[in-house]
Amino acid sequence: MTRAAAPRSRLETILRAGRFAVTAEMQPSNGADPEEVRRYAAELRGKVDAANCTDNPAAHPHLSALAAGAFVAQAGVEPVVQLACRDRNRLALQADLLGAAALGARNVLLLTGDDVSAGDHPEAKPLFDIDSIHLLRIARGLRDEGTYLSGRALSSRPSFFIGAVENPFAPPHDFRPTRLAKKIEAGAEFIQTQLCFNFPRLVEFMKRCRELGLLERVFVLVSVYVARSARAMRYLRDVVPGIDVPDEILARLEKATPGRQAEEGFRLALETVGALRETPGVSGIHLISIKGQEAILRLIEAAGLLPRPEA
């Protein structure tokens, strides 16, 4: 059995060195032109430690995460290739895990995925053959045991830094740390959380994770959103499931005049990043913005997170 000759991912190296990591969600591509992906990746080069290539985000089809990951890597940015259980059964997921590795992905993020009803093809058949915890276990099996779920041997093993997601802000809140423990047991080595607007809730979650001894076993990257307007924030609260936007956060944006809301949203994100850097157990941030990556780039700069460390 040979192991794919692959060094540790840049993201893993930075996290294990105890450096504060910065990842960002890359703009998904709606076309077949690789130049579009390379252009998004080039914007992020040198500014983030890794860029997430999403897998049909919000159940809307886009250029595949595997393909995007390959172009992102070519453009000199390390991809985090996301795979969701919504659109593929266990055979296809394993095929894509190997495919992602062969195309150069060193980080994968494995999740259940939004339901098809959230997207623009609500009539589609949702797969959900396995859940995210099964997929984490399968990825660990491919890497550490060199076998498919069936037990059949691989000819060479992938080398992954295995990621998962968790939502500290959704009910049942008391169970969320336990769910993270299950993900760690299944194979998760880092997590990216759902968007953080309810900071006290995050602190509570981290405290419980520490008590359970989880923070020695997993790196936690907290997601920060750069809101462009009160309307965008209200949309997140009312339309996107699982996002907890406290009233005072929305009120803060609404108080600003429409012309100043983008600035207020930016300031809110900057304050959140500052607070997260001071929160014990938080290993990094994951930045998300809708429609354009400029706000993310500005935030990284304003927060003093440049230059990124060598890995």
Partner 1 sequence: MGVFHTALIAIEKAVKIPLFGCRMCGQCILHSTGLVCPMNCPKNLRNGPCGGVLVDGHCEVKPEMRCVWVRAYEGSQRLPVWKDHLTHLQPPVDWRLQGTSSWANLASGRDRRVPAGWGAADGAGSSQEPGVRA
Stretch that binds partner 1, among 29-37, 99-107, 125-133, 290-298 (CB under 8 A): 125-133
User: Could you give the CA distance from residue 84 to residue 46 in angstroms, rounded to a whole number?
Assistant: 27
SS3 53: strand
Q: Which residues inside 46-85 make contact with partner 1, applying CB under 8 A?
A: 85
145 binds partner 1 (CB under 8 A): yes
120 binds partner 1 (CB under 8 A): no
Query: In 187-303, which ranges are continuous DSSP H helix?
Result: 199-211, 230-239, 247-255, 261-277, 294-302
Stretch that binds partner 1, among 42-50, 97-105, 181-189, 302-310 (CB under 8 A): 181-189
For residues 296 and 285, the answer to whether their CB atoms sit within 8 Å is: no
- What residues are paired with 224 via a beta bridge? 287
Stretch that binds partner 1, among 34-42, 122-130, 269-277, 302-310 (CB under 8 A): 122-130
115 binds partner 1 (CB under 8 A): yes
Amino acid identity of 37? V
Q: What is the DSSP letter of 87?
A: S
User: Could you give the CA distance from residue 159 to residue 101 in angstroms, rounded to a whole number?
Assistant: 7
Q: If we measure between CA atoms, which residue out of 41, 75, 49 comes closest to residue 219?
A: 49
172 binds partner 1 (CB under 8 A): yes
Q: How far is the CB of 257 from partner 1 (least distance, A)?
A: 28
Q: Which of 28, 69, 141, 163 binds partner 1 (CB under 8 A)?
A: 141
Stretch that binds partner 1, among 49-57, 161-169, 258-266, 272-280 (CB under 8 A): 161-169
| Half-sphere CA count of 129, side-chain side, radius 13 A | 9
User: Could you give the CA distance from residue 212 to residue 214 in angstroms, rounded to a whole number?
Assistant: 5
Residues that bind partner 1 (CB under 8 A): 85-86, 90, 111-112, 114-115, 117-118, 126, 128-134, 137-138, 140-141, 144-145, 147-152, 165-167, 170-172, 174-175, 178-179, 181-182, 184-189, 194, 216-218, 241-242, 244
